[in-house]
Structure 1
Amino acid sequence: MKAPALEQRKLLDLQAADNRIAQLNHTLRTLPQEARLAELQRDSIAARQEFGGVNGELEDARVEISRVEADIETVAAREKRDRERLQASASTKDIQGLEHELASLKVRRSNLEDIELEVMERVEEIEERLAAITARRDDIATEERLLAAQRDEQRARINAQLAVAQSERSAIAAGVGAELLALYERQRERYGIGAALLRGGVSLGSNVALNGTDLAQIRAAAPDDVVLDPDSNCILVRTEESGI
C-alpha cells in the first residue's frame, strides 16, 4: 500500500488520540470511588440484615413482656379476689385454703416480676444494639452519598474530556485517506496499536530495535510505501528521527 508520507505522519497523532481515549475510558471504568462504594453496599446489606435480626429479637422480647405483664395482672386479680373472699369467709378450712393460695400467688407474682425485670433489661440491651446498628447504617448511607457525588462529578469531568478527545480524533481521522485509515483501524483492532514511530532504528510499537535485514528493507522502501513493524504489526511511521 502507498500513502503520502505526510498522511502517514498523521497516524501518530491519531494513535496518540486513541491512546488518550483509551486512557480516559480506563479511568472511567476504574474510578477510585467504585471499589469503596461496592464495599459500602455490602456493608449496608449486612447492616440491614443485622438490623432485621435484632429488631426481631426486640419484638419477641416485647411480646414476652406483654405476656408476663398479662400473667402478673391475672395473678393480681386472683390475689384481690382471694383477699376479698378471705375477709368475707368464716370457715376455718376456707381461710386456711385461701391463705395457702395467697402465699402461692405471692411467690408466683414475685417470680413473674423477676422475669419481667430480666426481660426489660434484655429489651434495653437489644435497643442499645439496635441504636448502634442504626447509627452505623446511617454512617454508611452518608458516606455512600458523598462518594457517589464525588464519583458522579469525576465521571462528568472525564466524559467531558472524552468528548473533546473523540472530537479531536475525528478531526485527525478526517485528514487520513480511507485505505490507510482502514489499515490503521484493522491493525489497531487486531494488535492493540495501529501506528508507531520508528526512532533511531527502534520501533516504538514494540520497543524493539529492528535487525539489519528489516532496516535494509525499510531503507529500500519509497517514502510513500506503508511499512509494518515485523514485531507488533503496527504501521511504522518514518520521520527524520528514524535513523535510516
Structure 2
Amino acid sequence: MALKATNGDQRRLLALQDVDTRIVRLQAKAKALPQTKRIDELDALLARLDRAVLDRLGAHDDATAEVARIESDVQLVEARLKRDQERLQVVKDAKTATATEHEIATLERRRSTLEDLELEAMQAQEDAAAALAAARAEAGEARAERDRLAAERAEVAAGLERELAEARAERADRTVAVPADLLALYDRQRERYGIGATLLQHRTSAASGVELNASELHQIRQTPDDEVILDPNSSAILVRTEESGL
C-alpha cells in the first residue's frame, strides 16, 4: 500500500534534506581539515628530529666525557712532573738523578701528546655542541609549526562543531512537523542512498540531475499529490511542486 502524505508535508522534507546535506558537509569538513595533513607530516618529521637530538646529545656527552678524561690524565702527568722536578732538586745519587731526568722527559712528551689530544677533543666537543644546537633548533621550529597548526585546527573544529550543533537543533525542530511514517521513509532512504528527498524540478530530479523520461512523467502525472513516490534514479522521495513542470 502506497504511503500517503499531504504535499505540504512532503515539501517539508526538502528543507529537512537541506539541513541533512549541510550536516553531512560539515561532518566531512571536520574530518578533512586542511591542517591535519601537515600536522601528520610534522609528527613523522618530529619523530626523526627528536631521535637526531638524542643521538647528538649522546655524541656531545661522549665528547664532553673524553675532554674530562684527557684533562684528568693531564693533571696526573703534571702532578708526577712536579713531584719528579722537586725530587731532582734534592737527589744526590747520579744514577737516580739520571733516571729522574729520563722520567721527566718522558712525562713532558706525554703531557705534550695529551695537550694535543685535549685540543682535538675540545674541538670535537665544540662541533658536537653545534650539531646538538642545530638539531634542537630544527626540532623546535617543526614543533612550533605543529603547535600553531594544531591551535588553528582546534579553532576551526570548534567552529564547525558549533555549526553542527545548530544544524542538528534545526533538524530536530523540522522533524517535529513531519508525520512519523513519512519521516521514517525519508530516513530509511537517506541512510541507504545518501539522499532522502529530492525536488522534481523542470522534469528533472535535483538529486540525480537526470531528466525523467516520458513514461515516468506520465506515471507521475497519474499519481495523486498526496501519494508518496520515489525518484526512479536516486531512490529518494520525489517531491512535486509548481517547479516540476508536470
What's the TM-score bracket when you normalise by the shorter of the two chains? over 0.9
Q: Which residue of 2 aligns with 1:92?
A: 94
Matches of 2:151 and 2:158 in 1, distance apart? 11
Q: Which residue of 2 aligns with 1:183?
A: 185
Q: Give the superposition deviation at 1:65.
A: 1.1
Q: Which residue of 2 aligns with 1:238?
A: 240
Q: Which residue of 2 aligns with 1:111?
A: 113
Give the TM-score normalised by the residue count of structure 1: 0.94
Mapped pair 1:102 → 2:104: yes
Match of 2:170 among 132, 149, 168: 168
SS at 2:198's partner residue?
A: strand
Q: Give the superposition deviation at 1:60.
A: 0.9
Q: Give the superposition deviation at 1:207.
A: 1.2
Matches of 1:136 and 1:54 in 2, distance apart? 13
Deviation sequence 1:119-149 (CA, Å, 0-9, x none): 1111111111222222233333333333233
Q: Give the superposition deviation at 1:156.
A: 1.9
Q: Which residue of 1 aligns with 2:156?
A: 154
Q: Give the superposition deviation at 1:6.
A: 0.8
Q: Give the superposition deviation at 1:3.
A: 0.8
Deviation sequence 1:160-194 (CA, Å, 0-9, x none): 22111111111111111100100010000011111
SS at 1:209's partner residue?
A: coil
Gaps of 5+ in 2: none
Give the TM-score normalised by the residue count of structure 2: 0.93
Q: Which residue of 2 aligns with 1:30?
A: 32
The percentage of aligned residue pairs carrying the same residue is 45
Matches of 1:169 and 1:124 in 2, distance apart? 66
Q: Which residue of 1 aligns with 2:13?
A: 11
Matches of 2:241 and 2:197 in 1, distance apart? 13
Matches of 2:87 and 2:188 in 1, distance apart? 105
Write out the 4+ residue segments of structure 1 that deviate beyond 6 Å after TM superposition.
none
Q: Which residue of 2 aligns with 1:60?
A: 62
SS at 2:243's partner residue?
A: coil
Over aligned residues, Cα RMSD in angstroms? 1.5
Matches of 1:168 and 1:201 in 2, distance apart? 30
Q: How many residues align structurally?
A: 244
Deviation sequence 1:215-237 (CA, Å, 0-9, x none): 22111111011111112111111
Q: One-letter code of the match for 2:124?
A: R
Matches of 2:162 and 2:77 in 1, distance apart? 76
Q: One-letter code of the match for 1:221?
A: T
Matches of 2:159 and 2:79 in 1, distance apart? 74
Q: Which moved more, 1:115-124 or 1:127-136?
A: 127-136
Q: Which residue of 2 aligns with 1:220?
A: 222
Gaps of 5+ in 1: none
Matches of 2:49 and 2:66 in 1, distance apart? 25
Matches of 2:66 and 2:128 in 1, distance apart? 14
SS at 1:237's partner residue?
A: strand
